Amino acid sequence: MPHDVTMPQLGMAQDAGKIVSWLKSPGDAVSKGDALFEVETDKATMEVEAQADGFLTGVSAAEGDDVPVGQVIARISDSAEDDDAPEAAEPAPAPAASGAGDLPEGHRVTMPQLGMAQDSGLLVTWLKAPGDEVAVEDVLFEVETDKSTMEVEAGRKGWLAATLAEAGEEVPVGQPVAIISDAKPDAPVARSVKDGAAKPAAAEAQGQAEPAPAQPTAPKPAAPVAAGGRILASPKARRLALEQGLDLGRLAEAGHPQPFHVADLEVLRAMPERGASVAPAVAAAARRLTARAAEDGVAGFADWAEAQGLTRDAVLAGLAGASLGRDGAVVVAVERFGAVTVFDVPQGRALSGVTPSEDAPDLLVRDLRGTRLASVEMGAEDVPVLTVTAEGDGLSITLECAAGQLDGPEAIRLLSEFAGRVEQPLRHLL
């Protein structure tokens, strides 16, 4: 049975591709996996492989031609004599999302097709959160197929009004993944592919969420990866791990939360070699302190800071780094909606000096505002962790650390300083 060869979609905004060269000629025998031709867009150049065994026939596009995405340009037939050019076909319309009537108005960002035979993509991680302002070239999320991992850009300026899939979910090609609106949304939406209806991302803060369970549910640790299983990691983390001979599977086996980022490679480097004798760990007392801020001063302050070119994550990192009270610069990671961003925070109070970093963090700020979690108790991690959750009009801040990371006075000072700064961020500048 003949198999149609179509122009693949290599990027979200791509509507056509240029055929750079044919690597097989009409009538050639081809095997599944053989490179048929090279295609170029404004973002990438890649080889397109045959998805079936047979003979290349019916070639209807020449080198240098711009071909619309989804158009049939050749076929793989059972016989070399079947050389009739296939009729051009328009791409199938994108499937409609369930619960579409509950979604905000705006431009729909769809799951791109990264290969000719790809029918879905694995959403690795979100790099923007519902309600964030985005620029044309801002990266929204990372997507993985069996062939490649790619960052998907917004493609237009506006506000991320809705995310329609969660990290770790498979999304069919062409199905909406996000919505970008022209105006700042009053109630940004975050939902899973499996959700039948949209749910406000900040519903709890607005009093619209279902009652929270009596016991907070901690994120489920990643299960060990079976042979052939997928590991969720950013493209940069994958590249560095490959260059440095590091096995990301060991992080998954240890239950380290996915997706993995560059900062997680430090954890991997510190892990003992397989088979090495490891002395039983001495159970050191962990510290857990909780403070409350009467109001969330970060939200309004972050709007002002963004106008000065600072992201809200950079603001949180700056407030936390200054609260640590150490001489010299510190490295602070901010985790929000599953995405981790790392910053260098200089000594002093100048937020303008907060810049992105690739170093291992000295402190982690976990921003859970806008989630259903009301409190956390996850235990000590590799570095001290400040967790911020919504509590009425204010905030609850929890510090968790090992006894060896901060002594008692240091822990009290860090939490007290940070709680004061998120309540009244202008303190940071005075």
pLDDT of residue 366: 93
If pLDDT is split at 50, 70 and 90, which confidence band does 282 have? very low
| CATH class of this structure's domain 286-429 | alpha beta
Q: Could you report the per-residue pLDDT of 146-196, keeping only the tens digit for each?
A: 556 677 888 889 999 999 998 888 888 778 889 999 999 988 988 888 775
pLDDT of residue 415: 93
What distance in Å separates the CA atoms of residue 87 and residue 92, rounded to the nearest whole number?
A: 15
Share of the chain above pLDDT 70, in %: 76
**Is 146 within 8 Å of 229 (Cβ atoms)?**
no
**Is 405 within 8 Å of 380 (Cβ atoms)?**
yes
b/e for 337-376, b at 16 or more Cβ within 10 A?
Answer: bbbbbbbbbbeeeebeebeebeebbbbbbbbbbbbbbeeb
Q: Could you report the per-residue pLDDT of 232-244, keeping only the tens digit for each?
A: 776 667 767 777 8
Bond before 235 cis per omega within 30 degrees: no
Q: Which of 228-242, 343-357, 396-410, 411-425 has the lowest mean pLDDT?
A: 228-242
Q: Which of 217-221, 300-304, 403-407 has the lowest mean pLDDT?
A: 217-221
Residues 306-324 have a mean pLDDT of 85
Residues of the chain with CATH 2.40.50.100: 3-77, 100-190
pLDDT of residue 289: 92
> What contacts 394, CB < 8 A, 6 or more positions away?
292, 293, 294, 295, 296, 423
pLDDT of residue 175: 82
Mean of the per-residue pLDDT values for the chain? 77
Residues 9-27 have a mean pLDDT of 78
pLDDT of residue 160: 93
2.40.50.100, 3.40.50.300, 3.30.70.2190, 3.40.50.720: CATH of 100-190: 2.40.50.100
In this model, does residue 110 exceed pLDDT 70?
yes
In this model, does residue 397 exceed pLDDT 90?
yes
What distance in Å separates the CA atoms of residue 49 and residue 76, rounded to the nearest whole number?
A: 11
In this model, does residue 390 exceed pLDDT 60?
yes
What distance in Å separates the CA atoms of residue 78 and residue 55, rounded to the nearest whole number?
A: 6
Residues of the chain with CATH 3.30.559.10: 286-429
In this model, does residue 209 exceed pLDDT 60?
no
If pLDDT is split at 50, 70 and 90, which confidence band does 90 have? very low
If pLDDT is split at 50, 70 and 90, which confidence band does 272 have? confident
Q: Tell me the range of 41-55, 181-195, 207-221, 223-237 where mean pLDDT is highest.
A: 181-195
pLDDT of residue 15: 66
Q: Tell me the range of 28-32, 69-73, 93-97, 225-229 where mean pLDDT is highest.
A: 28-32
| CATH class of this structure's domain 3-77 | mainly beta
